[in-house]
Structure 1
Amino acid sequence: MARFLTLAEACEEVVRDGDCVAFEGFTHLIPYAAGHEVIRQKRRELSLVRMTPDILYDQMIGCGMARKLTFSWGGNPGVGSAHRIREAVEQGWPRPIEIEEHSHAAMAAAYAAGASNLPFAVLRGYRGAELVRVNPAIRSVTCPYTGEVLATVPAVRPDAAVIHAQKADREGNVLIEGIVGVQKEAVLAARRSLVTVEEIVDDLRGTTHPNACILPGWAITAVVAVPGGAFPSYAHGYYPRSNAFYLAWDPISRDRDAFAAWMEENVMRQGPQAFAAHARPANAGKAA
């Protein structure tokens, strides 16, 4: 059953050195506050998994926390390259990193397989795709019923999954609204899970919209209330995306010294509430 902890306590319990970790959230609900706490705790040798690694993973990889990245797209959305990820891949700075690239469909299928306790996922994708040439994890199987040759990818079964959501009730059940991405599958596939939320409420009944899902408290290790915990991404129904932040990140991330100075001032020396405060409606859209 989910336990209500502080962010520092939850990150220490859920994310450990050497873990395979998925910080998921598609377009919105990206768990920045939790990711920054993991950075402050100086986790090492992580194998990071995410469908769309953007600024959060750019920061983690730039801090030398990861040995591997499994993903299906990487960059600064709407702006350009994720420069810290790119330099780690191309120049091995601050340390070499192994990459395993997939399509979005394959990553979603791999999470679903992990959540279903299956060893691999099957899909019709990758026909004619060049990823097959560079990713030995992409294999094939012949359907025993039709003889069709289908692509396979190994299931994603993280040691830890970290997501952000809108609400949790007093029993630790979590409501996700808007674009739900693969957050549900990531949590169900993981051995341990942490969910940060905008608020804790007494009852989730009657508050859901058609495009929503509820994660049961028994599937979650820890829940933490962190208002603004997805900033600079957005939280559907709470605050918008800070486009200015994503634009401002590009020149910061291009330079090693500028990146290190920014991380020291804005992440290492600050607690989660200081950074997340920018998500308040009066400040939405400003860079931190």
Structure 2
Amino acid sequence: MDKTTTMSEAIARYVADGATVALEGFTHLIPTAAGHEIIRQRRRGLTVVRMTPDIVTDQMIAADCVAKVVGAFVGNSSAGSLGELRRRVEAGTLELEECSHYGMICRYLAGAQRLPFYPLRSYAGSDLPRVNPGLRKVVSPYPGPDGGEPEQVYVVPPVHPDVTIIHAQRADRRGNVQIWGLTGIQAEAVYAARHAVAVVEEVVDDAVVRADPNRTAVPAHAIDAVVACPHGAHPSFAQGYYDRDNAFYRRWAGISKDPERLKAWLEEYVLGTRDHAEYVAKLAADGTWDRLAVGSAPSGSIDYGRRLRKEHP
């Protein structure tokens, strides 16, 4: 029942060359440390699926890990462009399959529910079907409004990653994963995949999870491996653990714009470190973690209640 392992072992086991890898976490809890370990293990030919391809995707592309990106919003989270992704798309050396945010949600839902497609209305009038032939129309099998002609609706195909990797605040050793703050599409991305790895800020006792069961976003039966990795979402944030590193996001625009500077950054901070603990230590030297420290903001407590045993006469 104990699914805990190291990051190195989890990536070695579940991420093979040519695999389809989903990295999910929306705005916070982005599995950056997992992406860095994929770079260290020099995986090649990956298809990266991410609702919002961002800095970690740019880094993996620059390290020659990625052949294709599947996603929606692409960018450096309000701070600029992804230089390497842009260079390779414009050069025709990286395949980019574009959807909308909701389109990506629907693809995960279809994958999780083992459906052949998922319908949505939001592509009507959009240019996306022109650039992505996988976005198609079907005729509804039911009459239209007021008994009229059946409607035509857009549909998206399912996505079935070989492995989904998520980051979260905590999990127990069996793999019950708990998340609070902003939540994204983590659960659906996990259920859509063949395997799933949960990277967490801390591994906690079963009793901690049982005391607050409604925070369990992904249950143990869907998780193959649990990796404890403090600060593993940097430069994004983990609600309650550390803040978003806005200064790094701003710096990344300049780093990724210059291929030589980007290569040097990867050599120093990723390929030049044995693991994420060394990466964390390097950032500690310039006061990063002090700068990103957060104060306490308890959310209160609730009483789930318990049945009282009554003696029968």
| TM-score between both structures, scaled by the size of structure 1 | 0.93
Q: 1:2 to 1:189 in 2, by over 3 A?
A: farther
**Cα distance, 1:65 vs structure 2:** 1.2
Q: 1:58 to 1:200 in 2, by over 3 A?
A: same
* Counterparts of 2:14 and 2:292, CA distance in 1: 30
Q: Could you list the runs of 5+ residues in structure 2 that have no partner in the other structure?
A: 144-149, 294-313
AA paired with 2:68? K
AA paired with 1:46? L
Contact 1:25 1:180 in 2 (8 A): yes
Q: Which of 263, 266, 269 is the matching residue for 1:263?
A: 266
**Cα distance, 1:172 vs structure 2:** 1.7
Render the CA deviation track for 1:216-271: whole Å, top value 9, x for unaligned. 11111110000111011000111110001101111111111110011000000112
Contact 1:180 1:213 in 2 (8 A): no
Q: Which of 100, 110, 113 is the matching residue for 1:113?
A: 110
- 1:134 maps to what in 2? 131
- 1:99 maps to what in 2? 96
Q: Which of 148, 155, 177 is the matching residue for 1:152?
A: 155
Q: Which of 165, 170, 174 is the matching residue for 2:173?
A: 170
| TM-score between both structures, scaled by the size of structure 2 | 0.86
**Cα distance, 1:275 vs structure 2:** 2.3
- 1:218 maps to what in 2? 221
AA paired with 1:260? K
Q: Could you list the runs of 5+ residues in structure 1 that have no partner in the other structure?
A: none
* Counterparts of 1:208 and 1:30, CA distance in 2: 23
RMSD: 1.6
4+ long deviations beyond 6 Å: none
* Counterparts of 1:272 and 1:149, CA distance in 2: 49
**Cα distance, 1:100 vs structure 2:** 0.8
Contact 2:176 2:218 in 1 (8 A): yes
Structure 1 stretch displaced more, 100-109 or 59-68: 59-68
SS of 2:68's partner is strand
* Counterparts of 1:53 and 1:108, CA distance in 2: 14
SS of 1:21's partner is strand
Correspondences of 1:1-288 after superposition (within 5 Å)? 3-92=3-92, 96-146=93-143, 147-202=150-205, 203=207, 204-207=209-212, 212-270=215-273, 271-277=275-281, 278=283, 281-284=289-292
**Cα distance, 1:214 vs structure 2:** 2.6
* Counterparts of 2:279 and 2:52, CA distance in 1: 22
Identity of aligned residues (%): 49
* Counterparts of 2:36 and 2:129, CA distance in 1: 34
* Counterparts of 1:35 and 1:230, CA distance in 2: 10
Q: 1:261 to 1:48 in 2, by over 3 A?
A: same
* Counterparts of 2:34 and 2:4, CA distance in 1: 14
The structure with more radius of gyration: 2
Render the CA deviation track for 1:136-187: whole Å, top value 9, x for unaligned. 0000111111311111111011011111001111322111212211111111
* Counterparts of 1:216 and 1:119, CA distance in 2: 25
SS of 1:106's partner is helix
Render the CA deviation track for 1:72-111: whole Å, top value 9, x for unaligned. 010101112111100010124xxx1111101111100110
**Cα distance, 1:208 vs structure 2:** 5.8
SS of 1:205's partner is helix
**Cα distance, 1:119 vs structure 2:** 1.7
* Counterparts of 1:227 and 1:182, CA distance in 2: 22
Residue-pair matches, total? 280
Render the CA deviation track for 1:9-36: whole Å, top value 9, x for unaligned. 0011111110111111100000011110
Q: 1:213 to 1:169 in 2, by over 3 A?
A: closer
